[in-house]
Structure 1
Amino acid sequence: MFRFVKSIISDNSGTSSPTSELDRLVYGTSHSPLLKRRRARVIVSRIRLLSLLCFVAFPFGFTLDLLAFSGDTLLILGLSRALIALLFLALFFGIGNGETLRDAYRAVGIFFAILLTFQAMYQPLLDLQDISAIAGVPSAGYVLFPFLIVVCIGIFPFTVKEAFLTLVMFYIVEMLILIILPEQSDPHQRLGILLSLVAAGVLCGFSAISQLLYMASLVDQASIDTLTQCYSRNSGEEIIDVQYRIAQREKAFLSVVFVDLDNFKAINDRYGHESGDRVLRSAAEHIAKNGRGSDVLIRWGGEEFVILLPNTNAAGALKTVRRLRNIGLGERPDGSFLTASYGIAEMQSSKANDWQALVEYADDQMYHVKSNGGNDIAMIDSPALAETSYSQPEGSITE
């Protein structure tokens, strides 16, 4: 079934599927491409901001070290801070503007690795094992540094799984760092530090998950067409852009189907707009039932829809549309079958230079069908064949 928006937002009664809500909270597999892209952008942008702040803060912290340390300890701390500052500067310029969650995960991993590296560098040098070791601002900063690291987790919109894995990796590294403390240090103090970090991590993980839920609700509200419960045109364009980039990078197939309901204006003129709205909702539901979990349904405007079919060549898209015509789009107010004109374009075979061209090719094919009476399918194999290349379906919808 389409990753239809009904599976990720509340229904008319104000409730939503417990299974889908649990999935979006824990795993995120039901997240829409749009939500994934927004999450990736937010995570990467916050990593870049934090990296810039750390680049400034770490050298500044050395001025505080001058007040509390001297000799080899001061020298090593200074060199460590300089190295870490350079790493954060490289991270700031290196990650760019992430568009996928893979980019976001890589940025998060590097960010926390740099912070934990600094802790591993200073920890053996300083006899700062618990709060009682605080004797001034510099020592307080080093004692509380692990807690500052774990607090950063709460800044990002993570699922339960992502927050859990991040915390597990953090605690593993922390245990390794605590192991390298001087042998004379109190093991009870080490355990106390670890338990305190666990408690802080749970709170920060809750904050990260809360951010995700809030972001998901905002994306849903901004991206859903309230009448048909499929994606609006603005959000749909962004999803097509994402899928086009992915298909282009992976050299995969990507098909677009442009759907225009036949003689829809007559419904509004004769039966009123409420009847027209019911027909639109019914058409969207029938299209949704015919799709796969990876397909995306977009209300393009009025009685027009766009179906996005990732990893689908032109033949596969034609098969999908034929099946949809056999299932039907519901009924018109007078009891007759609702029909539509379909135009198909596939990214590789049409040689579309961008996603806008791909949609335009599908729209052109739909227009040809519309001009010839509607209730048919046309597809394009290449731009040169845009005016002549059609694939007629075998049979037609049962009437």
Structure 2
Amino acid sequence: MKYLVKMYISLIESLGIYTTDQLYELISTKQHGMPISRHRAAVMQSRVFFFSVIFAVLVPAWSVIDILYLPQALWSELLLIRLLAAASFAVIAWQTRREPDLMLARMLLAAMLAITPLFYLLSDQIIADQQLGGTATILAEVYALLPFVMVAGLTLFPLAISEFLSYAVPIFLVVVYSVYPENPAEIAEAVSTLWLLILLLGVGLFASMTQLRYMLSQVSHASYDILTGMLSRRAGIEILELQFRLALMSEKPLSILYFDLDNFKAINDTYGHDTGDTVLRVASQQIRDTVRKGDSVIRWGGEEFIVVLPTADHKEANDVITRIMLAGLGNRPDGSPVTASIGIAEVQQDRLKDWKSQVELADHRMYTAKSNGRARCIGVGGQSTEWVTALEQSAGF
């Protein structure tokens, strides 16, 4: 038991896992943020493109060897399925040039992995009906290695455990079906083949998790602000661009909230930057805990934050603002509540043409809120919601 515990500890340390959240990130992708999802999608699509192009060229090119060493009746049938497979790989390669999207990347990887097992099953059926000898027998054995090639290919993709198994299990079942012994003499060969495949799957799973853990670490450092845990401005701009394009294409609403903490400079000047950092951390945590699950919270600069609300119209944005006001942003060092001046801009209602103009409009409304007395929000159409008013309505005044 102690040996197993030591092995487990060694394994998780080699993967850089020190918390249950980090372990869960390797099991499932449900908690992955948009930056890691987009980065994974870009990596997966680029690698699917590379392999699909290689296979689209090599699969039909191998027909030259088939023609030289296999009977005409056999190589002519194999040539047909080779051409179909090559065409399929070419289509997949063409589809990978689209904008990175995780769902698309998963589908393209699944399609690429599906072609080879299907080709393997068809070729195995064709070759089984032939009486071969010499070099032709060796070539026929090469076809049996195709599933192992695809398992080896899986090691090059940053996949969570759940994703890896969804791709590996069908390949494993195809091999089980193809090597299932029809007589006792074939049992030993079937067991050895499956054992080798399981070994490769284990290595592939570890390689995929290692890549994913490294990517999570790198993207986290590059995409998230260390102090507040919010998205960095650079990562936030990518999300704003993407969400704005999606909103225009789908003609759905998209709101953003522009926050500026009131009189924050006075905290730094009076109590020091360490105290100011604490106020920032608490305020950012309150915002992240209050917004919706699919919303993105960005540290835009200093004490300025932007919240991206996909599919939220200006009324829903006002509801989010009210919830944030009721939840509060923590307290200042003197015990008074932290407040913010907030501006709202919504794509459809404000008829905006690009994400920059949306940020500028929300910023302008935030300054209007600040000039009107702070601790309030200016929404679409100039609607004003004061912090005190929201609290009083909650208390029933």
TM-score normalised by the chain length of structure 1: 0.84
In structure 2, the partner of 1:93 is 94
CA displacement at 1:140 relative to structure 2:
5.4
CA displacement at 1:29 relative to structure 2:
0.6
For the 8 Å contact 2:176–2:194, the answer to whether it is kept is yes
In structure 2, the partner of 1:239 is 239
In structure 2, the partner of 1:3 is none
- Is 1:331 aligned with 2:331? yes
Distance in structure 2 (CA, Å) of the matches to 1:17 and 1:253: 37
For the 8 Å contact 1:331–1:337, the answer to whether it is kept is yes
In structure 2, the partner of 1:390 is 383
Aligned AA (2:75)? L
In structure 2, the partner of 1:58 is 59
In structure 1, the partner of 2:395 is none
In structure 2, the partner of 1:229 is 229
In structure 1, the partner of 2:373 is 373
Distance in structure 1 (CA, Å) of the matches to 2:356 and 2:219: 23
Bigger mean CA deviation after superposition, 252-261 or 348-357? 348-357
Aligned AA (1:285)? Q
- Which stretches in structure 1 are left out of the alignment for 5+ residues? 1-13
For the 8 Å contact 1:44–1:98, the answer to whether it is kept is no
Distance in structure 2 (CA, Å) of the matches to 1:162 and 1:251: 32
In structure 2, the partner of 1:117 is 118
Aligned AA (1:107)? L
Aligned AA (2:244)? Y
Q: Taking structure 1 as reference, are residues 62 and 183 closer, same or farther at Cα in structure 2, changes over 3 Å only?
A: farther
- Which stretches in structure 2 are left out of the alignment for 5+ residues? 1-15, 393-397
Q: Taking structure 1 as reference, are residues 328 and 94 closer, same or farther at Cα in structure 2, changes over 3 Å only?
A: closer
- Is 1:170 aligned with 2:167? no
In structure 1, the partner of 2:9 is none
TM-score normalised by the chain length of structure 2: 0.84
In structure 1, the partner of 2:8 is none
- Is 1:192 aligned with 2:186? no
Query: Deviations along 1:298-328, whole A, 9 cap, x unmatched?
Result: 1000110011223332222212212322332
For the 8 Å contact 1:280–1:303, the answer to whether it is kept is yes
How many residue pairs match? The answer is: 372
In structure 2, the partner of 1:155 is 156
In structure 1, the partner of 2:255 is 255
For the 8 Å contact 1:134–1:143, the answer to whether it is kept is no
In structure 1, the partner of 2:203 is 203
Secondary structure at 2:330's aligned position in 1? coil
For the 8 Å contact 2:116–2:146, the answer to whether it is kept is no
In structure 2, the partner of 1:344 is 344
Aligned AA (1:21)? Q
CA displacement at 1:197 relative to structure 2:
1.9
Query: Deviations along 1:99-158, whole A, 9 cap, x unmatched?
Result: 222101210121012212221232123359xxxx98887455323222101111111111
Q: Taking structure 1 as reference, are residues 33 and 266 closer, same or farther at Cα in structure 2, changes over 3 Å only?
A: same
CA displacement at 1:358 relative to structure 2:
2.5
Distance in structure 1 (CA, Å) of the matches to 2:137 and 2:74: 17
Percent identity for Structure 1 against Structure 2: 33
- Is 1:72 aligned with 2:73? yes
- Is 1:354 aligned with 2:354? yes
For the 8 Å contact 1:45–1:97, the answer to whether it is kept is no
CA displacement at 1:94 relative to structure 2:
2.8
For the 8 Å contact 1:317–1:344, the answer to whether it is kept is yes
- Is 1:277 aligned with 2:277? yes
CA displacement at 1:96 relative to structure 2:
2.1
Relative contact order higher in (CA < 8 Å, ≥ 6 apart): 1
Aligned AA (2:311)? N
Q: Taking structure 1 as reference, are residues 297 and 17 closer, same or farther at Cα in structure 2, changes over 3 Å only?
A: farther
Distance in structure 2 (CA, Å) of the matches to 1:188 and 1:246: 55
Distance in structure 1 (CA, Å) of the matches to 2:271 and 2:229: 22
In structure 1, the partner of 2:36 is 35
Distance in structure 2 (CA, Å) of the matches to 1:203 and 1:32: 27
Q: Taking structure 1 as reference, are residues 250 and 29 closer, same or farther at Cα in structure 2, changes over 3 Å only?
A: farther
Q: Taking structure 1 as reference, are residues 114 and 262 closer, same or farther at Cα in structure 2, changes over 3 Å only?
A: same
Secondary structure at 2:326's aligned position in 1? helix
Distance in structure 2 (CA, Å) of the matches to 1:328 and 1:273: 21
Secondary structure at 1:186's aligned position in 2? helix
Distance in structure 2 (CA, Å) of the matches to 1:66 and 1:391: 78
CA displacement at 1:259 relative to structure 2:
0.1
In structure 1, the partner of 2:7 is none
Distance in structure 2 (CA, Å) of the matches to 1:371 and 1:15: 48
Secondary structure at 1:395's aligned position in 2? helix
Bigger mean CA deviation after superposition, 308-317 or 183-192? 183-192
Distance in structure 1 (CA, Å) of the matches to 2:139 and 2:173: 26
For the 8 Å contact 2:120–2:144, the answer to whether it is kept is no
